Structures are given as structure tokens and as C-alpha cells.
């Protein structure tokens, strides 16, 4: 049933007349009054079944998958919710497997009444902001309806004539919060028709357009207002103690020009390593701008969390201010364990350095051995080359000498040949000598 009413909320339009009508279908027919500018038709079907076909008085048919832009159609397994702008007056008909439990609910003059945002906001503050659905002059209290109303506050950076810019150059709206009427948070009572949001001003300082819209399409521009967001006028600093027994310090400083002196209060929640939470609070004295909150020293090593809410009063308007700070953490160190870890780290580094030194020495020895073997090999090769060259040269020289000796043996020397001629001449003289005597 809640799911159905969520769908109803999604499609219900704004209507003009200050009344609420509930029309039951007779033979799947219902009549639309000429004064109705917008109507929402809720039609139940047998489950499961196809969506119905709506037939206008002139015979024109509307289908779930084909209808004009002025028609909004939501379908479920056993229900159709159709919202029509300016429905044609006269008898309408729903064709399909319509359930006997059928009716058309018509809401008229449905509007939303909202608070005005402060024109001067501060970055980081949270503002209580309310809105209310009105049916004519009376609040609309329809539990199943208001449980599913989705109202959202959007901030858009202010620019003159944004329509003159290209769509991709226009500033994008940022959703800051969603209203609820469930009695939780800042909402005072559930289902009373008053929707409340704790609006976090999580935007950069500047000028903005604030707009309340409906995520389900009921209200598109129910509120548009220009607001100025100023830098946060408060600063919280956490100083962690490094000495056992000395408390931590949470210091809150405020700007005198923006914050009324003596109006600052601090509510801090600290969570220890076991998940246990302790609350610490303090309030500034008269005309005091800076307050300090002592947090007992925690000796158990581990990570701690703290979250603080600061309350103050605006100096100019007297408006109460609330600044919920985001959760932060700090750690308490076990110095004995840290020293042991440091010693272990140094031992590991020393071991690694020694191993690296051994590897370096081993590498140098291997390189020296390799170099020595290379030198010896090159020396041996050089000796062999020199020996071979010497042998080759000596062999060539010996061969040359042998060739020269052989040549000398085969051809007599010239001086011996001359001596033979002389001897022959002497022999001729001797032979001639006796002949002359005779």
C-alpha cells in the first residue's frame, strides 16, 4: 500500500479548487468537472494485468506507452496512476481488467508553504527549515501521502540571466537536504504535515539561488530565494597531548564581528578504541570569544574519534547558529611498542645492509676472478700467438738460408774460373817452348 501511495505522490499535480473529491467508477466511467485544471486518476486493476486505456470524451485514447506530454503515467502490477493537465471535461472511460475497488481522487488547490531562509548564512552551519502542504487554507494531513512526499532544497550559484548561457555553461544545482515528516531529527511530530530538514550549508561562500523542489515532480518552483553564504565565523582546533597525564585541548575561536561574545557553547563526543563514547561540554563566559575544553589524556594505544557541535548567536540578527563539525580522528601511540618496532626495523635494515655487503663482496670476488681468468687467457693467447709468429719467422729464415746454400753449391765462384784460364795459358806456353828450341 505504501508503494502505491509513493506512486500517487509521484504523479499528484497541483490543482486549483480548494476541495478534495473522490469519484468512484461506474461501469469504468467517471466524469471530469469543467473547473478542474489538473486531475490524478488512480485506477486499480486485477493482478496481474496490462495497463488500462484511458478514453477521453471525444474518443481519443491514452496509453501507458503513448500519450501527450501533459500526461504523466505510472504503472504497477495492479494499478495505474495517471496525472493529466487540463483534462477534457465530460465522461472518461478506463478500458481494461479494472478492479471493482476503483476510484478517482481529485485534489485541488494543493500548494506548499515554506519558511524563508535567512538571507545571511554561514558556511558549515545547519539550519532548521520547515515546509507544509496546504489544501486550501488547511494543512493536508493524509498519512499515506505525506509519508512519501520527497521535498529537496537545492542551491545554485547565482548568475544574472543564466538563460543567456549555453546549457552546459549554466551552474548546476546542488542538493543540500531532504525534508522528512517522520518525527526524527529536528522534525517535531510524525505525519503532522510539517516537513523538516536540518539544512547543511555545505557550499563555498558566495551568492546562491535557493529553491525547494519535489523529487516526484509535484512542485517545481515552490520557493526561490537569493541567499548569501559567508565564510564560517568559528574555528575549532584540537591539540593532542604528547605527555601522559596532560589533557588534550579543544580550542574554539569565534569572530567578534559575526558571533555575539559569550554565546559560544561546545558539545563534544569522544569515542575510544573500544567504541565507548564520552560527552564533554563547555560554555563561554560573558564577552568571551575563545573557549578551551580539556579532554582527559587517553593512555590506551589506538585510534580515537571525536565529533563536535558548536552553538552560537549571530551578532547582527541574533539568530541562533549551529555548526556540526565533521568527525575527526587522532591516535595514541604505544612508545614502547614503537621503540621495539624501531629496533626491529633497524635490525632488519642492518641485516639487509650486511646481506647486501656480502653480496657486493661476493660479486667483486667473482668479478676479480673473472678478470684474472680473462687476463690469463689473453696472456696465454698472446704467448701462443707470439710463439707461433717467432716459429714462422725462424722457419722462413732457415728456409731462405738453405736455398742460398744450395745455390752456392750448384754454381762455382768466379775467381776459381779465372785461375783455370791462367793455368791453360801457362800450359800453352810450355807446349810452345820446346817447339821453338827445336
The structural domains of the chain, with segments of one domain joined by +, span: 2-108, 112-230, 234-333
Cβ proximity of 304 and 311 under 8 Å:
no
CA distance 293 to 247: 9
pLDDT of residue 436: 46
pLDDT of residue 252: 95
pLDDT of residue 7: 41
Cβ proximity of 115 and 68 under 8 Å:
no
Cell of 320: 541562533
**Identical topology for domains 112-230 and 234-333:** yes
Cβ proximity of 311 and 321 under 8 Å:
yes
pLDDT of residue 12: 39
- The CATH number of domain 2-108, selected from 2.60.40, 3.40.50, 3.40.1350, 3.40.1000: 2.60.40
Cβ proximity of 56 and 88 under 8 Å:
yes
Choose among 83, 86, 88: nearest CA to 73. 83
pLDDT of residue 26: 55
Q: Give the residue ranges of the chain where pLDDT is below 50.
A: 1-20, 217-221, 417-418, 420, 427, 429, 431, 433-438
Architecture of domain 112-230: Sandwich (2.60)
Composition of the chain by helix, strand, coil, percent to 5: 25, 35, 35
Angle at 195 between CA 194 and CA 199, to 5 degrees: 140
Assess whether the previous peptide bond of 48 is cis (omega < 30° from 0): yes
pLDDT of residue 76: 76
Residue 45: CB atoms within 10 Å: 21
Answer whether CATH 1.10.620.20 is correct for domain 234-333: no
pLDDT of residue 101: 63
Cβ proximity of 246 and 297 under 8 Å:
yes
Amino acid at each position: 500500500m505504501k508503494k502505491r501511495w509513493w506512486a500517487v505522490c509521484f504523479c499528484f499535480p497541483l490543482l486549483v479548487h480548494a476541495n478534495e473529491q473522490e469519484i468512484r467508477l461506474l461501469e469504468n466511467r467517471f466524469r471530469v468537472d469543467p473547473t478542474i485544471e489538473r486531475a490524478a486518476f488512480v485506477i486499480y486493476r486485477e493482478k496481474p494485468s496490462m495497463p488500462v486505456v484511458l478514453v477521453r470524451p471525444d474518443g481519443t485514447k491514452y496509453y501507458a506507452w503513448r500519450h501527450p506530454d501533459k500526461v504523466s503515467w505510472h504503472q504497477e502490477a495492479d494499478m495505474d496512476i495517471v496525472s493529466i493537465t487540463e483534462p477534457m471535461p465530460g465522461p472518461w472511460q478506463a478500458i481494461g481488467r479494472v478492479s471493482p475497488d476503483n476510484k478517482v481522487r481529485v485534489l485541488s488547490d494543493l500548494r506548499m508553504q515554506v519558511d524563508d531562509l535567512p538571507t545571511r548564512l554561514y558556511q558549515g552551519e545547519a539550519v532548521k527549515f520547515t515546509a507544509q502542504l496546504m489544501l486550501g487554507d488547511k494543512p493536508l494531513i493524509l498519512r499515506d501521502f505525506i509519508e512519501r512526499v520527497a521535498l529537496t532544497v537545492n542551491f545554485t550559484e547565482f548568475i544574472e540571466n543564466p538563460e543567456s548561457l549555453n546549457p552546459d555553461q549554466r551552474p548546476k544545482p546542488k542538493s543540500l537536504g531532504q525534508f522528512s515528516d517522520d518525527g526524527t531529527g529536528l522534525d517535531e511530530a510524525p505525519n503532522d504535515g510539517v516537513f523538516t530538514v536540518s539544512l547543511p550549508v555545505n557550499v563555498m561562500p558566495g551568492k546562491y539561488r535557493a529553491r525547494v523542489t519535489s523529487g516526484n515532480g509535484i512542485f517545481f518552483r515552490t520557493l526561490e530565494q537569493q541567499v548569501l553564504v559567508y565564510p564560517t565565523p568559528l574555528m575549532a582546533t584540537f591539540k593532542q597531548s604528547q605527555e601522559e597525564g596532560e589533557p588534550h585541548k579543544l580550542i574554539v575561536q569565534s569572530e567578534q564581528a559575526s558571533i555575539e561574545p559569550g554565546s559560544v557553547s561546545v558539545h563534544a563526543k569522544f569515542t575510544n578504541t573500544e567504541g565507548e563514547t564520552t560527552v564533554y561540554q563547555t560554555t563561554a563566559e560573558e564577552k568571551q570569544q575563545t573557549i578551551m575544553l580539556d579532554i582527559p589524556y587517553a593512555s590506551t594505544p589506538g585510534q580515537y574519534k571525536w565529533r563536535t557541535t558548536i552553538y552560537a548567536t549571530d551578532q547582527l540578527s541574533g539568530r541562533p547558529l549551529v555548526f556540526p563539525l565533521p568527525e575527526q580522528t587522532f591516535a595514541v601511540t604505544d612508545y614502547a611498542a614503537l621503540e621495539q618496532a624501531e629496533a626491529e626495523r633497524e635490525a632488519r635494515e642492518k641485516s639487509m645492509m650486511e646481506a647486501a655487503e656480502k653480496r657486493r663482496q661476493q660479486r667483486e670476488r667473482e668479478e676479480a676472478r673473472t678478470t684474472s681468468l680473462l687476463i690469463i687467457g689473453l696472456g696465454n693467447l698472446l704467448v701462443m700467438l707470439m710463439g707461433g709468429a717467432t716459429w714462422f719467422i725462424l722457419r722462413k729464415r732457415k728456409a731462405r738460408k738453405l736455398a742460398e746454400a744450395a745455390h752456392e753449391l750448384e754454381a762455382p765462384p768466379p775467381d776459381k774460373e779465372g785461375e783455370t784460364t791462367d793455368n791453360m795459358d801457362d800450359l800453352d806456353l810450355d807446349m810452345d817452348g820446346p817447339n821453338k828450341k827445336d
